[in-house]
Amino acid sequence: MSAKGRPEREFRPLGGSEVREPAGPPQGQTPECEARTSSVKPRAWGDHNDAASVRLAHCAKTFPDGTRALLPLDLEIQAGETVVFLGPSGCGKTTLLRIIAGLAQPDAGGRVFFGDDDVTARPIERRNVGMVFQSYALFPNMTVAENIAYGLRVRGIRADERRQQSARLLDMMRLAGLGDRRVDQLSGGQRQRVALARALAVRPRVLLLDEPLTALDAKLRESLRVGIDRLLRSLGITAVYVTHDQAEAMALGDRVAVMSHGRVEQIGAPQDIYYRPASAFVADFIGTMNRVSGERDGPSLRFPGGTLRLPDHAVAADHAMFRPQDARIVEPGAGALTGRVAAAFFLGSMTRVVVDLPGEQTIVVDTVERRSFVNGDAIGVDIDPDALVILES
């Protein structure tokens, strides 16, 4: 069981098919990649028992112009696990994915293993990975079914088997009935599901997804996110997913790796990352985190507008952090902090209240109380001491 409380992933065949499909070449992004084949023996489609673990040993990437896109990284992704790499633009997510895919080589000394296989020197077409990109990278001159079956065709799978295979994937992706359409007759969400089906058709050992939902609108993104989550779980496939969207990362990852400037700052279950951020960067990047600074006074932190009792382990802390939803609005003077309402935003499921503390510190508090707030009114805020986050300095 993962820390996320997911059930163990378990393969369920999608039907009693005799369809045989050679493993080997991946679903690459370009026809050039896909056209190359290898000689791994055929297996029944859907049997993901061979989902591979991925191990990166001392993988770094320095580009010829000196850009250090990835700093040396050691990391293991379990077979069947979904690890989401999350971070701002330019932090090295795609570079990392390309190293796993075999589209880029790590700096000298870096190694990539799939299970026990050292695949460092193997090009993408011999790693058996499936890739899905932000841009769909579908073939516009082919139908949906032909797109999905493309990888099978270049591997010499018979036409009737290809048809059977595509039909099953179309069903799985809720695209049934659309097999004969051209891809330019599909919506963005449908196209991305075709891209996913195409990547899965070749039964990859590792599925790599680079911001697959970024091009879609918010509502569609959310519904596809649910679909992808269900799919990854039911297939038991090893997946590496890259995004800058923290909600997506939290929802999909068995573990989330937060990256900044080519470095993995923290990797852990979504709850660990959220409730126990290891750095100020992680705390700020994942959701909203309040931070107040003050002077240490015995077990407490004092600052204009309040006093917070710190946990015993926070010996030398000069700050405390807390999530907006871990603070409670109370009468002025009744809580640990007192300030004034600077703004309040009704967001439907809650109200986000911005509170100015004396001495130029500002915090935000989320409340589900059905009341209105008047700017400038005095307000009290209380925080459960267990909800305080203190960074080790």
Ligand X SMILES: Nc1ncnc2c1ncn2[C@@H]1O[C@H](COP(=O)(O)OP(=O)(O)OP(=O)(O)O)[C@@H](O)[C@H]1O
Site residues (vs ligand X, CB under 6 A): 63, 65, 67, 69, 87, 89-95, 244
Which residue, 94 or 290, has its beta carbon nearer to Mg ion?
94
Residue 92 binds which one of ligand X, Mg ion, none, with CB within 5 to 8 A depending on kind? ligand X
- CA 195 to chain CA mean position, Å: 18
The site for Mg ion, by CB under 5 A, has a size of 1
What is the three-state SS of the chain?
CCCCCCCCCCCCCCCCCCCEEECCCCECCCHHHHHCCCCCCEEECCCHHHCCCEEEEEEEEECCCCCEEEEEEEEEECCCCEEEEECCCCCCHHHHHHHHHCCCCCCCCCEEEECCEECCCCCHHHCCEEEECCCCCCCCCCEHHHHHHHHHHCCCCCHHHHHHHHHHHHHHCCCCCCCCCEHHHCCHHHHHHHHHHHHHHCCCCEEEEECCCCCCCHHHHHHHHHHHHHHHHHHCCEEEEEECCHHHHHHHCCEEEEEECCEEEEEECHHHHHHCCCCHHHHHHCCCCEEEECEEECCEEEECCEEEECCCCCCCCCEEEECHHHEEEECCCCCCEEEEEEEEEECCCCEEEEEEECCCEEEEEEECCCCCCCCCCEEEEEECHHHCECCCC
Nearest distance, CB of residue 286 and Mg ion, angstroms:
19
Which residue, 67 or 271, has its beta carbon nearer to ligand X?
67
Nearest distance, CB of residue 281 and ligand X, angstroms:
14
Which residue, 250 or 259, has its beta carbon nearer to ligand X?
259
Q: Which residues contact 217 (CB under 8 A, 6 or more apart)?
A: 188
Nearest distance, CB of residue 94 and Mg ion, angstroms:
3
Which residue, 192 or 351, has its beta carbon nearer to Mg ion?
192
Residue 65 binds which one of ligand X, Mg ion, none, with CB within 5 to 8 A depending on kind? ligand X
Residue 91 binds which one of ligand X, Mg ion, none, with CB within 5 to 8 A depending on kind? ligand X
Nearest distance, CB of residue 72 and ligand X, angstroms:
15
Nearest distance, CB of residue 247 and ligand X, angstroms:
16
Q: Encoding tokens for residue 302?
A: 């004092």
Which residue, 240 or 269, has its beta carbon nearer to Mg ion?
240
**Interacting positions 368-387 with Mg ion (CB under 5 A):** none
Residue 294 binds which one of ligand X, Mg ion, none, with CB within 5 to 8 A depending on kind? none
**Rounded to an integer, what distance in angstroms lies between the CA atom of residue 63 and that of residue 61?**
6
Which residue, 93 or 205, has its beta carbon nearer to ligand X?
93
CB-side neighbour CA atoms (13 Å) of 374: 2
Nearest distance, CB of residue 264 and ligand X, angstroms:
12
Which residue, 63 or 346, has its beta carbon nearer to ligand X?
63
Residue 244 binds which one of Mg ion, ligand X, none, with CB within 5 to 8 A depending on kind? ligand X
Nearest distance, CB of residue 278 and Mg ion, angstroms:
23
Residue 95 binds which one of ligand X, Mg ion, none, with CB within 5 to 8 A depending on kind? ligand X
Residue 63 binds which one of Mg ion, ligand X, none, with CB within 5 to 8 A depending on kind? ligand X
Nearest distance, CB of residue 244 and ligand X, angstroms:
5
Residue 289 binds which one of Mg ion, ligand X, none, with CB within 5 to 8 A depending on kind? none
Which residue, 46 or 87, has its beta carbon nearer to ligand X?
87
**Interacting positions 81-120 with Mg ion (CB under 5 A):** 94
Which residues bind to Mg ion, rule: CB under 5 A? 94
